[in-house]
Amino acid sequence: MQRCRRPGSRRVQGSALRGFVALLALVLLVSTGAGAKSSAAASARVESDLPYVPGGGPKQQLDLYLPASRNFPSLLFVHGGSLSAGDRKEDPYLHVCEPIREAGIGCASISYRLFPLVGWPAPVQDVASAFAWLKQNIRSRGGDPERLFLAGHSSGCMLVALVGADPKYLETHGLMPRDVAGGDRHRLPAQRPAGYQGNPDGKTPPALRDRSVRSHVRKRGSAE
């Protein structure tokens, strides 16, 4: 499940994100039936600073919020920041997972490598690696590996959408986009590519086209 928002002031952004988190928890609760699964497991807890890439750095870690139930669905959340800023431990992202866990849903909040210390496609590769880690490890913590959702804020939304639209990122881990349990559709106004890319002749460079979620959705739709 993914949701995109335009960047704004930090106060407005934080307020909007908290409202989105509350709505997201409610939607997942209804769609997965998580609230009906009340059999006791280990007490609710947080596992912090878990590496999702062997030998990775601090930006390749996640915090895992686990509810006190069994067979719960889980959400992997990816922060925003224009691919060059932000972290799971910074406000407002620090507060995303707690209300989701309270709704009986597991929540993994990740950090990922940022520009300019890395180039493309390192950020989206990290998101795919984190999803693969969650798929492999959530069962031992009481969760259901068949009910894993993706969500992101701002540029994080773009990353999770790309993981779901371009199969090559999950294929590296022996997975496919269908391993993501579900998604959400939103009608967004069309934007002129030239406004972002500075190419008024309308010719999108192949490297930028490969990073566009819309390009991969169009290709998959044509193939089907």
For position 206, what pLDDT does the model report?
A: 76
The predicted model scores a pTM of 0.73
For position 193, what pLDDT does the model report?
A: 46
For position 36, what pLDDT does the model report?
A: 43
For position 62, what pLDDT does the model report?
A: 99
Q: Which value, to the nearest 10 degrees, does the dihedral of the CA atoms of residues 200, 205, 210, 216 take?
A: 50
For position 126, what pLDDT does the model report?
A: 99
For position 204, what pLDDT does the model report?
A: 63
Looking at the chain, which residues constitute the CATH 3.40.50.1820 domain(s)?
A: 10-188
Name the architecture of domain 10-188.
Answer: 3-Layer(aba) Sandwich (3.40)
For position 31, what pLDDT does the model report?
A: 53
DSSP 156-186: HHHHHHHHHH-THHHHTTT--GGGS------
> Three-state SS across 52-118?
CCCCCCHHHEEEEEECCCCCEEEEEEECCCCCCCCCCCCCCHHHCHHHHHHCCCEEEEECCCCCCCC
Amino acid at 218: R
For each of the chain's 224 residues, which pLDDT tens digit applies?
444 544 445 554 555 565 555 556 555 555 555 544 444 445 789 999 999 999 999 999 999 999 999 999 999 999 999 999 999 999 999 999 999 999 999 999 999 999 999 999 999 999 999 999 999 999 999 999 999 999 999 999 999 999 999 999 999 999 999 999 965 555 555 554 444 445 545 566 777 777 776 777 655 555 55
For position 216, what pLDDT does the model report?
A: 72
For position 28, what pLDDT does the model report?
A: 58
